[in-house]
Chain A
Amino acid sequence: NAGVTQTPKFQVLKTGQSMTLQCAQDMNHEYMSWYRQDPGMGLRLIHYSVGAGITDQGEVPNGYNVSRSTTEDFPLRLLSAAPSQTSVYFCASSYGTGSNQPQHFGDGTRLSIL
C-alpha cells in the first residue's frame, strides 16, 4: 500500500495562476482532509470530506475549492493564487466519518507563490 500520495512535491506559481494539488489514498478511507502548515501555527484545516460527493469547509477555506468524485481522490484547487497561500499543504485520510480515528498524512506539497 502506498498510503496517502500527494503530487507535486514542490510547485512555484505566479500570483493569479491556478493549479490543482492532487491527493490519493489506497486505504479505502472515507474521511479525507486538506491542511496547510505555516511556521508556528501548526496544521490548519482547509476543507474536508466524509465520503464521495460530500465536502465541507474547515477553518481556512477561502481561496480554495475541493471535490470528491471518488473515495480515493481528493484534489485541492487554488483558483487564483496569492502570496498568502505560500505554505506547505498536507492531505490526510482516516477510517470512518467524524470518528476519533487518527489520520494518516501524505508527505506534503511545498507551494510558493511569487
Chain B
Amino acid sequence: GQQLNQSPQSMFIQEGEDVSMNCTSSSIFNTWLWYKQDPGEGPVLLIALYKAGELTSNGRLTAQFGITRKDSFLNISASIPSDVGIYFCAGLLNYGQNFVFGPGTRLSVLP
C-alpha cells in the first residue's frame, strides 16, 4: 500500500525550544491530518489540511499542506512538557479511500 514517511523518528528537545517535523510521500494527497497520541491513549486530532499551500494554526501548533501535495509539516513553538507524545500524520489519496498513517515522530521534552 501507499507509505508515508515521518522524520525525525524521535527527538529530544529542551523545554521552550521550537520543534519541526515532516511527513513525506511519493504520492499526491488530497487531505493531510496531524494527530497526537499521549501514552496509553488514542490519537487525538490536532490539525486538518485540505488545500495545497494551506497553513493552519492551533495554539502553538502550525501545520502546512505542502505545495507539491506530497508532504506536510508540523511546527510546535515554545515546547512545554505536555507536548510529549507521538505525532502522527495521515494522508488521503482520493475520496472514497481510507486514510494512510505515517509511523509517527516521538517527541520528548527535557525540563
Q: How many residues of B contact A (CB 8 A)?
A: 27
- Residues of B near A108 (CB, < 8 A) are 40-42
Q: Mark A79-114, 1 if CB is under 8 A from B, else 0.
A: 000000000001010000011101111111000000
Can you give 13 contacting A-B residue pairs, CB < 8 Å?
A: A35-B101, A42-B102, A42-B104, A43-B43, A59-B1, A90-B42, A99-B95, A100-B31, A105-B35, A107-B40, A107-B42, A108-B40, A108-B42
Bound form: Cα–Cα A33–B101 in Å: 13
Determine whether the beta carbon of A100 is less than 8 Å from that of B50.
yes
The answer, yes or no, to whether A45 is at the interface (CB within 8 Å) is yes
- Residues of B near A48 (CB, < 8 A) are 98
Determine whether the beta carbon of A100 is less than 8 Å from that of B95.
yes
Which B residues form the contact surface with A (CB < 8 A)?
1, 4, 9, 30-31, 33, 35, 40-45, 48, 50, 88, 90, 92, 95-99, 101-104
Q: What bracket does the count of chain A residues touching chain B fall in?
A: 20 to 34
Determine whether the beta carbon of A43 is less than 8 Å from that of B95.
no
With CB as the reference atom, state the residue of chain B lying closest to A98: B96
